[in-house]
Structure 1
Amino acid sequence: MLAAERRSRLLTEVRRLGAAAVPDLAATLGVSEMTIRRDLDVLASDGYVDKVRGGARVARVDDSPRTLAAQSRRNGDGKRAIARRAATLVEPGMSVGLGGGSSTWALARELRGVDDLTIVTNSLPVADVFARPDRADEPYTQTVVLTGGVRTPADALVGPVAVASLEHLHCDVVFLGVRGIDLTAGLTTSNLLEAETNRALVAAGARAVVLADHTKWGAVGLTTIVDLNEVDLVVMDEGLDPDAEETLRAHVAELWIAAGDDD
């Protein structure tokens, strides 16, 4: 049984019962308790369930499509694959820029174990990921949060104040989420002020990387952030159609397709 199918059955069972214990779920699905715990970690990170002692219950979250939790649940496996692949670009001691959105949030969680990072972000959820660790043996990370500006539905701070802050910062690599990728419109977003802030983020990085799951291909937001040729790398998941992949490769500097993990 593939991991995605197993997690789907697991979620169905938790929803049917309202709450369930790990041993009962393991017996129902015919897998080990360790496998159930790993799957519950994934479902909890996507916002589908809340983990409780010994099991899980149906998540109590705002299911509005505008919330970051709801966005993260869409193609969650693909976004995790993208985040894992993108994380290979980051080394200890780097200064890393992270924009707002569910894909950069997924990457932030992958980077928590990397030592001595300086994180520059306008995303409040991303900043929360890098909150000072409670344990002395966890990696130390500095977090620079751009303050002021208009707050987007994804809890990113955008506008002139954020742009002014970025003008004086220099990152080894910046990671950007987008609303859509289109040959004509380029990389787009639905928020005018967010586009301005993201352009400044791209300019602040020695290398600019776009994180976008396959559903972003062909989508067009209200305004263009930058053209396709203005970023160094695009990382997408393997749900991208082969014809679309061939077309995109011809228009970007580099394209990575992140494979999923069915452990």
Structure 2
Amino acid sequence: MAEQAAQLAHQRRALILDAVRREGAVRVADLVGQLGVSDMTVRRDLDALARRGVVEKVHGGAVAPAGASGHEPGFEAKSDLEGDAKAAIADTAAALVEPGSVVAVSGGTTAHAVATRLLGIPRLTIVTNSLPVAELVWADGRDRGAGAPILLLTGGSPTPSAALVGPLADLAIGSLHVDLLFLGAHGVAQGAGLTTPNLMEAQTNRALVASARRVAVVADHSKWGVVGLSGFAALHQADWFVTDAGLPDPARAALSEEVGELLVAGEERH
């Protein structure tokens, strides 16, 4: 009986590991339904895989380990991971926005969380290459009419993370001047800067950075130490780097030396 249970656990963990390698991230809630086991069983399986170093546990699920980041997870796969951290980052980041300004929002789930906090700020124009952000802003305008932000969608071809990229997006972005860019990243590391596995998304992100008077990077602590295939911004290009309290002290020290200002959600500004 114990041998059979061990075999079943081995099979589950192989399936979970395959999903992480294929999708880049998994959610506990999804695995419970897919595997037909309890929440606690899934969490024990993730603990076992994390001890082997083949996944990295995050709040709500697991991701590919830091530094092994050649795959780009889909938007849905990432949307519920580190949810509390993203919410805290979004609250802090939205406080940087001036009413009546032009704000750009990049692709990514953390940038999307920021966008949810922008809807109530008066007289905003929101430029985005993110389909989920565009849908959010468009729905707000449809429901509220007057007072909702003006939406400018860049166009382009969608990536797995639902960002519009490519020459059409780059051309549209290059014709704009925005006051503040909220910029997400697949990975953040000293030396490598901000990175993504997607070459075309990297180029479009460079266009967004070039169009912005100020840049606020929004990234939770799990992004630190991850290096994707293509870099699109150096750390010193960030006027603000907004993150959560889970970021370790060595990373805080490294970022503080390079970015304009490090903002940690829930902590006082210095």
- TM normalised by structure 2 equals 0.69
Pairs within 5 Å for 1:68-147: 68-131=75-138, 132-135=141-144, 139-147=147-155
Q: For 1:27-38, what aligned pairs fall within 5 Å after superposition?
A: none
Residue 255 (structure 2) pairs with residue 248 (structure 1): yes
Any runs of at least 4 consecutive aligned residues in structure 1 with deviations exceeding 2 A, and if so which?
A: none
The Cα of 1:47 is off from its aligned counterpart by 10
Percent of aligned positions with the same letter in both sequences?
A: 46
Q: Give yes or no for contact 1:112–1:139 (8 Å, CA) kept in 2.
A: no
Gaps of 5+ in 2: 1-28, 34-58, 62-71
8 A Cα contact 2:106 2:183, kept in partner: yes
Distance 1:247 1:230 in 2: 14
CA distance in 2, matches of 1:120, 1:47: 30
| Structure 2 counterpart of 1:194 | 201
**Contact 1:180–1:218 (Cα < 8 Å) also in 2:** yes
Alpha-carbon distance in 1 for matches of 2:89, 2:168: 30
Letter in 2 for 1:258: A
What SS class does the counterpart of residue 113 from structure 1 fall into? Answer: coil
1:88 offset after TM fit, Å? 0.3
CA positional deviation for 1:141: 1.3
Query: CA–CA distance in 1 between the matches of 2:181 and 2:144?
Result: 28
Q: TM-score scaled by structure 1?
A: 0.71
Distance 1:89 1:166 in 2: 22
Q: How many Å apart are 1:233 and its aligned residue?
A: 1.2
Kindly indicate whether residue 266 of structure 2 is the aligned counterpart of residue 259 of structure 1. Answer: yes
Compute the displacement of 1:135 (Å).
Answer: 3.6
Per the alignment, residue 10 of structure 2 pairs with none
Q: Is the 8 A contact 1:47 1:69 kept in 2?
A: no
Q: Which residue of 1 aligns with 2:65?
A: none
Report if aligned partners of 2:215, 2:238 keep a CA contact under 8 Å in 1. Answer: yes
Deviation string 1:205-262 (CA, Å, 9 cap, x unpaired) is 11011000000111101110111112211101000012221122112221111129xx
Could you tell me whether the CA contact under 8 Å between 2:119 and 2:148 is conserved in 1?
no
Superposed, which structure 2 residues align to 1:159-178 within 5 Å? 159-178=166-185
Match of 1:156 in 2: 163
2:204 paired with 1:181: no
- Structure 1 CA distance, aligned partners of 2:183 and 2:195? 11
Query: Which structure 1 residue ranges, 5 or more long, are not aligned?
Result: 1-10, 16-45, 49-64
SS across alignment from 1:108: helix
Within 5 A, what are the aligned runs for 1:207-218? 207-218=214-225
- Counterpart CA distance in 2 for 1:227 and 1:257 is 19
In 1, Cα distance between the equivalents of 2:183 and 2:123? 21
